[in-house]
Amino acid sequence: MASRKAKRRRTAPPSPAGFAADGGGGVDMISGLCDDVLVRILERLPDARDVLRTGALSRRWRGLWTRVSALRFATEPEFFTQAAAAERYIAFVNDALALRAAAQTSSDPAAVEHLAVSLKMKRYPEPLERKRERGRKMSRLVVPSVDAAHGWIRYAVQHGLRSLAVDLRLPARAYGSHGLGLPVMLLGGLPSSDKLETMRLGLGGAMVTLPAAAQFASLTDLSLERMVIADVGGDDDSLARLLSTTTMFVYASTVLAVG
């Protein structure tokens, strides 16, 4: 009986090359694909956090995410209600972009071409005293969040991205209830870009100074949503000049210009 079982084992057909059996008795039919196909698969994942986690699967997957040309960071759940979770998310996005920037200086530079980041926060309905304390914590995160969003925009410009989308929604009411004005994001100080074609900025909870249209000569599609335009140095025509340019399609929604 034992020799018969051994014979069966010897005559069993071998697994196809590149397809290893997993612990559950199935087969890994993905890792046997070439790197280019695996990168295309990673690019279809909805969240860059899932893309980075694939590096823990095996050596085969490690580092493949640095070849993905599109990174999308989506707030999950849809809104952060705790400051600590939002802080971890911001740190994760910043670390991931820093790693990609470092990868571009290696012998195999794989540039990010498309970046989308959403950061949405709101206060959660709860008893008044706890609501106030949570509101204070969230309010302290408003300025770091605006600074982080400014850094993501600067990253897109400095690294020659083709498209950028930033969706920022901050608890501005909680911030204002503590006697603080809206933090200012100085987009006018960004370096010029001759590669950025599409830019969608939803900057709720921030006051923004707009860049000159000449800074983005390649830009053909610009979307401005949920933002307050600051009047800096008596220049209250920056929005009008940007909207009147004929070299790009401009969409503006809930944009308020203030002096």
pTM of the predicted protein model: 0.76
Residue 81 lies in a domain: yes
Answer for the pair 206, 182: CB distance below 8 angstroms, yes or no.
yes
Cβ neighbors of 92 (< 8 A, separation 6 or more) are: 49, 73
Residue 232 lies in a domain: yes
Higher pLDDT pick, 222 / 252: 222
Answer yes or no: is pLDDT of 111 > 70: yes
Answer yes or no: is pLDDT of 237 > 80: no
Number of domains the chain contains: 1
**Nearest C-alpha neighbor of 258 from the set 223, 186, 207:** 207
**Nearest C-alpha neighbor of 203 from the set 222, 180, 177, 179:** 222
Q: What percent of the chain has pLDDT over 90?
A: 22
For 203-234, the pLDDT digits (tens) are: 988 888 887 766 788 888 888 888 888 766 55
pLDDT category of residue 249 using cuts at 50, 70 and 90: low
Residue 109 lies in a domain: yes
Q: What's the mean pLDDT when you consider all of the chain?
A: 76
pLDDT category of residue 119 using cuts at 50, 70 and 90: very high
> Residue with structure tokens 């909805």?
46
Query: Strand 221-229 and strand 198-204: pairing?
Result: parallel
* Averaged pLDDT, 94-118: 82
Higher pLDDT pick, 140 / 43: 43
For 121, the domain range is: 69-257
pLDDT category of residue 67 using cuts at 50, 70 and 90: confident
* Averaged pLDDT, 36-40: 88
Predicted pLDDT at 23:
44
Predicted pLDDT at 11:
43
Residue 23 lies in a domain: no
Residue 62 lies in a domain: no
By mean pLDDT, which of 34-48, 84-98, 183-197, 222-236 is the weakest? 222-236
* Averaged pLDDT, 49-69: 83
Predicted pLDDT at 157:
92
Residue 251 lies in a domain: yes
